[in-house]
Structure 1
Amino acid sequence: MHITRKRPDTLRGPAENFTGTVWLDEIAAPAAPSRLRMFNVHFAPGAHTAWHRHPHGQVLHVLEGEGLVQRRGGEAESIRAGDTVWIEPGEWHWHGAAPRSFMTHLAVVEAAEDGTTVEWHEHVTDYPA
């Protein structure tokens, strides 16, 4: 067992992967053989990810606020505090805050054998207003 009492510094979401103001807090990145990665992600109103996918899928659990999530080819769907979203392995998607609301979610992924957790693509061009 290991208890972490000091968290890594909060990091700003890089502009190449996010639109708007996003803050990332690493919650879990245990040593091998574990491949679990967990972040607490804080989105300002209208902030969101670029299109991306995960080799083993992703779980999002909304802690507060309202947001949106969309899979490629589908409609943007509303998500709210208490909602949990399962995103299939390899499924292109984006997620973030609703246009007029902050949103915080836990993001849980499993790294691939080579250590990668995400493949980033282009920015969202038709974000709902």
Structure 2
Amino acid sequence: MTTVQIVHPGQEPKPGPADYFTGSVSVASPFRGTGDARLGGATVTFQPGAHTNWHTHPLGQLLIVTAGHGWVQVDGEAAKPIATGDTVFISPGVKHWHGAARDTVMTHVAVSEALDGTSVTWLEPVAGDLYNKL
């Protein structure tokens, strides 16, 4: 049994799938708990203007912004700015999106837990006019 798992930096980032993201996004150093652990996540870098589709997490999501600035928005609410050093918690089942501002790269560590093997439900893209108003 593994008691300690270390994920070293420097792994080759992989592009974020176009089915789930708008713009250029890279995912690096993905991690997942072992055994019965439900915890998983990755370091995600959004190029200027890049962002996720709308999505939900059955047990919520934690974001730790490590560089740049961007936005997070809950469906039906105004978008909120996020920046280096901010920690964001999105409650379970809440429809939301997040990503970089138009003028800067943003990187965050994203952490969530899986429920019955699912940690995210991807939904539709964010409407361009909604993002472009920010």
Deviation digits for residues 11-64 of structure 1 (CA, Å, limit 9, x no counterpart):
100111000000001342122211110210000000000000000000001000
Aligned equivalent of 1:123: 125
Q: CA RMSD in A?
A: 1.5
- How many corresponding residue pairs? 128
Q: Give, as a single letter, the amino acid of the residue that structure 2 aligns with 1:49.
A: T
**C-alpha distance 75-8 of structure 1, shift in aligned 2 (>3 A):** same
How far has the Cα of 1:4 moved from its partner?
A: 3.9
Task: Provide the C-alpha distance between the structure 2 equivalents of 1:117 and 1:41, rounded to a whole number of angstroms.
Answer: 16
Deviation digits for residues 76-121 of structure 1 (CA, Å, limit 9, x no counterpart):
1100000010100000000000011100000000011x21110011
Task: Provide the C-alpha distance between the structure 1 equivalents of 2:60 and 2:40, rounded to a whole number of angstroms.
Answer: 12
* Unmatched runs of 5 consecutive residues or more in structure 2: none
**Runs of 4+ that moved beyond 6 A:** none
Identity %: 47
TM-score (norm 2): 0.89
TM-score (norm 1): 0.93
* Unmatched runs of 5 consecutive residues or more in structure 1: none
Aligned equivalent of 2:110: 107
